[in-house]
Structure 1
Amino acid sequence: MGLLDELFGDNNVTNATLGDKDIASDMLKDSKFAVTSLAMMVTEISNPEVRTTLAKQLTSSVQMHQRLSDMLIHKEWYKPYASPQQQLSQDVHMTQNAIR
């Protein structure tokens, strides 16, 4: 039994199971990376056809990122408007729960 088995629950380890919130948060992080990378590429590419293609992909990626962010905010899995103190407190609480 490997790490993936533990993460996805094949070992009956409930604390290590990836939930919807974890997967969605990871998708949001990856989406942000894609938007950032595409934005950098669009500004650095010299070929107009490639620039146009990348700009269209950037627009699509931004829209997907917004939809994903809205979903996480709606489910209260992501709270971008919380104060820094609230965010830190929530992170500490989640870490303590993960350790237990």
Structure 2
Amino acid sequence: MRNMIENLIKNNTYIDDKVIMLSMLSSAKASANMYLNSALTSSTPELRAIYSASLTQMVEGHTALTELSINKGWFKPYDKPIQQLTCSYKESQNVID
């Protein structure tokens, strides 16, 4: 059963470094949001300090991932907005096809 599922995934899904990076960035964003909400709603200063420290680590990690993505050319934040929209549209068409 396991081999069958692995074969289905390998045959139907193309996973490269960019896809993994997007997944990591999405997870980091969700985690940072969780730590921010926890820090804002914590009942004691000690908990607030713990959550704030964790939030700082999450932001630093997200920054490192974003810089890596820019250096690899996967993200182009300095392109004109119309170029960014065109690129996003083409990528969405590739997903659909």
Same topology, TM > 0.5: yes
Q: CA, structure 1 residues 92+6, in 2 after alignment: closer, same or farther (shift >3 Å)?
A: farther
Query: For 1:84, which of 74, 81, 86 is the aligned residue?
Result: 81
Structure 1 portions without partners, runs of 5+: none
The CA distance in 1 between the partners of 2:85 and 2:44, in whole Å, is: 44
Give the TM-score, by structure 2 length.
Answer: 0.82
Where does residue 61 of structure 2 map in the other structure? 64
CA RMSD of aligned residues (A): 1.8
Give the TM-score, by structure 1 length.
Answer: 0.80
Q: Percent identity?
A: 32
Q: In the comparison of the two structures, how many residue pairs are matched?
A: 94
Moved segments of 4+, more than 3 Å: 4-7
Letter in 2 for 1:85: I
Tell me whether 33-42 or 57-66 shows the greater mean CA deviation.
Answer: 33-42
Q: Which has the higher helix share?
A: 2
Letter in 2 for 1:56: A
Q: CA, structure 1 residues 5+41, in 2 after alignment: closer, same or farther (shift >3 Å)?
A: farther
How far did residue 6 of structure 1 move? Answer: 3.3
